[in-house]
Structure 1
Amino acid sequence: MTTERLPLLMLPGLLCDPVAWAATAALLPQYDCRVPAWGALDTIGAMADHVLASTSEPHFALAGHSMGGRVALEVVRRAPQRVTHLALLDTGYQALPEGEAAEKERSGRAALLARAREAGMRAMGQVWATGMVHPDQIGTPLFDAILDMIERSHPDQFAAQIHALLGRPDATSLLGEVHCPTLVLCGRQDTWSPLARHEVMAGLMPNAVLSVVEDSGHMSPMERAQDVADAMQAWLARPLSPTFSSQARPA
Structure 2
Amino acid sequence: MELTVNGARTFCYTGGKPFDREKPTVVFLHGVLNDHSVWILQTRWFAHHGWNVLAPDLPGHCRSEGEAPGSVEEAAGFVLALLDAAGVQKAALVGHSFGSLVALEAAARSPERVTHLALVGTAFPMKVSPSLLENAQHQPMKAIDMVNVYSHSLMAPPPSALGPGTWLQGGSRALMKRVLASNPRVNVFHRGFAACDSYAGGEAAMAQVQCPILFVLGKADAMTPPKAAQSLQKKAPGARTVMVEGGHQMMTEAPDAVLFALRDFLR
2:188 maps to 1:141? no
Measured in 1, the distance between the counterparts of 2:203 and 2:266 equals: 24
TM-score normalised per structure 2: 0.76
Letter in 1 for 2:170: D
Q: Which amino acid aligns with 1:210?
A: T
How many Å separate the matches in 1 of 2:135 and 2:77? 29
- How far, CA to CA, are the matches of 2:229 and 2:192 in structure 1? 22
**1:195 Cα offset (Å):** 1.3
Aligned AA (2:197): L
Q: What does 1:209-220 align with in structure 2 at a 5 Å threshold?
A: 209-214=240-245, 216-220=246-250
* Alignment partner of 1:6 out of 15, 24, 27: 24
> What value does the CA root-mean-square deviation take over the aligned residues?
2.3
The alpha carbon displacement at 1:68 in A equals 0.3
Corresponding position of 1:33: 53
Superposition deviation, residue 128 in structure 1: 2.0
Deviation at 1:171, TM superposition (A): 1.3
Give 2:220's aligned residue: 189
Which of 143, 148, 154 is 1:129 aligned to? 148
Provide Cα deviations, 1:84-132, integer angstroms capped at 9, x if missing partner.
0000010113265xxxxxxx7233311233212xxxx4x5422320110
The offset of 1:148, in angstroms, is: 1.7
Given the alignment of the two structures, is residue 47 of structure 1 paired with residue 78 of structure 2, yes or no? no
Distance 1:113 1:21 in 2: 26
SS in 1 for 2:216: strand
Supply the distance in 1 between the matched residues of 2:134 and 2:143 (Cα, whole angstroms). Answer: 12
Q: CA deviation at 1:70?
A: 0.6
Seen in structure 2, the aligned counterparts of structure 1 residues 114 and 3 have a Cα distance that, compared at 3 Å, is closer
For the residue of structure 1 that corresponds to 2:241, the secondary structure is strand
- Equivalent position to 2:252, from 215, 222, 230: 222
Larger RCO of the pair (alpha carbons < 8 Å, separation 6+): 1
Q: Unaligned stretches of 5+ in structure 2?
A: 1-19, 61-67, 158-164, 181-185
Equivalent pairs, count: 223
Unmatched 5+ residue regions in structure 1? Answer: 97-103, 238-251
The answer to whether the 8 A contact 1:187-1:217 is kept is yes
TM-score by structure 1 length? 0.81
Taking the TM superposition and a 5 Å limit, the aligned residue runs for 1:196-211 are 196-211=227-242
Task: Report what 1:152 is aligned to.
Answer: 178
Deviation at 1:3? 8.0
**C-alpha deviation, 1:200, in angstroms:** 4.7
Does the Cα contact within 8 Å between 1:8 and 1:61 map onto a contact in 2?
yes
Is 1:22 the counterpart of 2:52 in the alignment? no
Q: For the structure 1 residues 221 and 108, does the alpha-carbon distance in structure 2 shift closer, same or farther, using more than 3 Å as the test?
A: same
More helix by share: 1
Per-residue CA distance 1:125-145 (angstroms, 9 max, x = gap): 223201101144499422222
CA distance in 2 between partners of 1:95 and 1:189 (Å):
17
Q: In the alignment, what sits opposite 1:231?
A: 261
The answer for the alignment partner of 1:113 in structure 2 is 137
For 1:232 and 1:54, how far apart are their aligned partners in 2?
22
Shift of 1:203: 3.6
Residue 175 (structure 1) shift: 2.2
Q: 1:90 aligned to 107, 114, 121, which one?
A: 121
What is the rounded CA distance, in whole Å, between the counterparts of 1:37 and 1:167 in structure 2? 22
